[in-house]
Chain A
Amino acid sequence: MTAHAETIRSLRVEHITKRFPGVIACSDISLSVGQGEILALVGENGAGKTTLMNILMGLYTPDEGKIYLNDEPVSFRSPADALACGIGMVHQQYMLVPDLTVLENVALGMQNALSMEEGKGRGRNRMKTDVRAVRTKIEEISSLYGLKVDPDAYIWQISVGEQQRVELIKTLCMGARFLILDEPTSALTPQETDDLIQLLRRMSSKLSIIFISHKLSEVKALCDTMVILRGGQLVYSGKTADHSAADIAELMTGHTVNLSMNRPALNVGQDMLVVKDLCVRGDRGHLALDHLNLSIRAGEIVGLAGVSGNGQRELAEALTGLRGIVSGSMVLDGQELQGKSPLDIISCGMGYIPEERNIEGIVPSMSIRENLVLKDIGTPAFSRRGLLKNKTIDHNAKSLCETFDVRCPGTETAAGSLSGGNIQKVILAREIARSPKFLIAVYPIRGLDMGAAEFIHRQLLDLRDSGVGILLISEEMEEVMDLSDRIAVIFKGKIQKVLEKSEANQRKLGILMAGVEEFDEAV
């Protein structure tokens, strides 16, 4: 066997600099990972994490600096080069084919890897993948690292957590002995996150890992050492244990961050939204909401906690008129919403921050200024006698971008080209500028860095204090517990229980989310 099967004892990156027109994405960054080490790479969006990893994977070549593998200088020209040296990456978005089985997905990734190992020996048949060899390999890898999967399950059948294990196995089968994980927990439930952290810790006895994240609790739980990037520069490199979560947050953002922003609601009024016996069908025709009851008052935030897939999406879509309902009633400030079109519901004062901000919350190919008036384009505010008032639209965009700190080259920029945080700010700006009576916010900070998340949370709290009722749908228990005045737990399309903020804690919520109703007995 050649050098590429050698264990990776150390990976060093020295003085890496990468410039793009107008920005220095990475400036003189050095880091090193030893055998069996888990290094956390922490930083806000745009801090240079992705650029650095793309350099490690051979997608970019650095302008300056060198990469050393086992103290020998290496240069990668493509991800295949990096993989040949044993460096593999699992991306934030899984690259799996839903209609193929686990085995087939792994085989798809392994075709290249196999050809490298066996090409010369047997005159490999290009037309045929050796499925049996792939199966053996999967079994070998999964028993070695304790990664349990069913090779014959289809991807669409398995949960997000299992899909991630498949990604890990795929990368390992392709010969990776050094893993880069890009925000691996962003789509996982709290339970799955715990499992992953356990798993990674076990795996670290056999390989090294770079763990990219901006969830500080995970970083502290999993990693001994960390590197913090800010604005393309390395601002901290050292032990995780030396710093508290608040310190790390401060290093990341460059200013003090209030990790907890919770303040009591002052301005709670009458019932704003009342949902009674709501039944809604999901995409597969089952009852996704089953006689759901919930009421939310003006000036309070009700957090809807639950493992995703328990009816959250259907509830949000039913309330906004995007999904028809089977039975029940939804009353917003005295107006029945059932049977109304999305446009009618919007004009009743319903605001909505959707789950998929990139494709539902904005029209990606249209400009920021157009997206900011998406819901109001036909109203007299932005059109007169059938023509758009372009000046008003421009003015509206400029002032909203300023108020909401949307960082963009200009308001003509396509909204889809912005970062997640800025897209969310555009959506939030539009929804708040319409002065809604009620706002549904679904995963409002998923995947955002701390600065953006803090900004969004502050806006939501301000909105609440101005007397708007807010339904906050989230899987992040910390977010729900921090922002909500009351917490409703949803399970299988029903509200398990509604807790006052004072009676809620992580353990109680976790048990309720798992579907156990009488938690006192269960503990």
Chain B
Amino acid sequence: MKRFKLWYRCGVVLLSVLVALAIAAVILTVLGANVLDTFRVIFVYPFSSIKNISGVINIMIPLSLVGIGICIAYRSGIVNIGGEGQMIMGLTLALVVALNVGEMPRALAIPLVLLSGMIGGGVWGAIPGILKTRFQVSELLSTVMLNYIASQFYSYCLRVPMLDPSVAGGSGDPQTVRLSESLWLSRMNQLFPSLDKNMRFHSGILIAIVLALIVFLFMWKTPAGFKMRAAGASERAARYGGINVKNYVVLAILLSGACCGLAGTVEVLGVHHRGLGNVSGGYGFSGIVVALFGGLHPLGVLPAAFFFAVISYGCNSLQINKIPLPGNTIDVLMGLVILVIVSAQMIISNKYIMYRAERWVRAHLLRAGKERA
């Protein structure tokens, strides 16, 4: 039975990968691209140099921060689809602070900016939590709607109060002035000079790893985390056990939003060094998939985020590698891969399907094997 389980899991994963590749191959053929070359770029090219790996890790950082945040909410019984909006509101508040700190020691300024990002995201996350617990508003609705509001608000801020005077009146994309260099998150090779000079990913990765550990400890080793998990696993039982479910649900989505806000802030301080359009880059949504793929566990999120970052980096590298594909195909391929992976995971965790499969295998394959023997 145990042995079958292992074979079964490997089999499903292998099969799903094959299915994804097969569908992708059809699409690529129709579009006139070389199938093998395309796959090589998506899955192998990201590992081909330290520079590319650094690029992968830079994508992994916001993905994992958002993913960790989503875990907290899911585990506590509230679905957070508002990661995108919380990222944006977090980075907006962080930009306000960053543009106004003036001369302040780096060791003080960076934590201050990060903290304000968390506050921005947390407050934005708490709103749907309060609406849910006080007025029974579905968080699915409110978080998605708040995404739009956040995105338009940020767009307004970029265009009016925070606009870089040098692009004012011009036709360029609206953006803020560049942040003072003392606020940038150091790259790893700056932080540790002994590292290869191509290790250009920023130190946000350390923040992500530490945050994953902290969230793990918080959720599994503290009474507050225990209560949040109990509230998420069974609201009635938690209420019965004397847990104030409403407060813990609000706390959960507040913390979830804070993680997303942190993701936005780290992205600005680490990569862009200024506020510009589309900083969030859809991480708020793909972070949800990362969280699910990571088993809704903060420590599982890190490898899951790395995996998604590889695919994402690979897909984005198609153009440089002269694969003649329209830019939007990348989204199609990524969507396809994600869909297949998530379905495979659902099949793996469904015991009934596994039971049927085992019965079928025993009835057909093993009997044939015995007869031959």
Residue positions of A touching B, CB distance < 8 A: 21, 320, 322, 341-343, 345-347, 352, 354, 356, 359-366, 370, 374-375, 377-378, 382-383, 386-388, 390
Contacts and interface: CB of A to CB of B under 8 A. Distances in A.
Given A21-B1, A363-B237, A370 B242 contact: no
Nearest to A365: B233
A388 B221 contact: yes
A378 B240 contact: no
B1 A366 contact: no
B234 A363 contact: yes
Q: Closest 9 A-B residue pairs measured CB to CB? A: A343-B242, A374-B241, A363-B237, A346-B242, A363-B234, A378-B223, A360-B236, A365-B233, A383-B223
Nearest to B234: A363
Interface stretch (B89-97, B197-205, B224-232, B270-278): B224-232
A513 to B, nearest CB: 27
Interface centre among A343, A364, A370, A377 (most CB of B within 10 A): A377
Interface residues of B, number: 20
Contacts of B299: none
A343 B222 contact: no
B230 A366 contact: yes
Contact of A341 (B224, B229, B244): B244
Contacts of B323: none
Given A366-B229, A377-B227, A342 B239 contact: yes
A458 B236 CA distance: 28
B101 interface: no
A352 B224 CA distance: 23
Contacts of A382: 223
Contacts, number: 70
Given A21-B1, A377-B226, A362 B244 contact: no
Contact of A364 (B222, B229, B234, B240): B234
A356 B242 CA distance: 16
A9 to B, nearest CB: 31
Given A366-B233, A383-B222, A388-B222, A361 B227 contact: no
Nearest to A354: B240
Given A341-B244, A378-B227, A362 B222 contact: no
Contacts of B244: 341, 343
Contacts of A347: 242
A341 B242 CA distance: 8
B35 interface: no
A378 B226 CA distance: 9
B237 A360 contact: yes
A365 B223 contact: no
19 contacts: A21-B1, A322-B240, A341-B244, A342-B240, A343-B242, A345-B242, A359-B234, A359-B236, A360-B240, A363-B234, A363-B237, A364-B233, A366-B229, A366-B233, A374-B241, A377-B223, A377-B227, A382-B223, A386-B223
Given A360-B234, A386-B224, 15 more contacts: A322-B239, A341-B242, A342-B239, A342-B240, A342-B241, A352-B240, A363-B230, A363-B234, A364-B237, A366-B230, A370-B230, A374-B230, A374-B237, A378-B227, A383-B222
Most buried by B among A346, A363, A378: A363
A370 to B, nearest CB: 7
Contacts of A343: 242-244
A382 B222 CA distance: 10
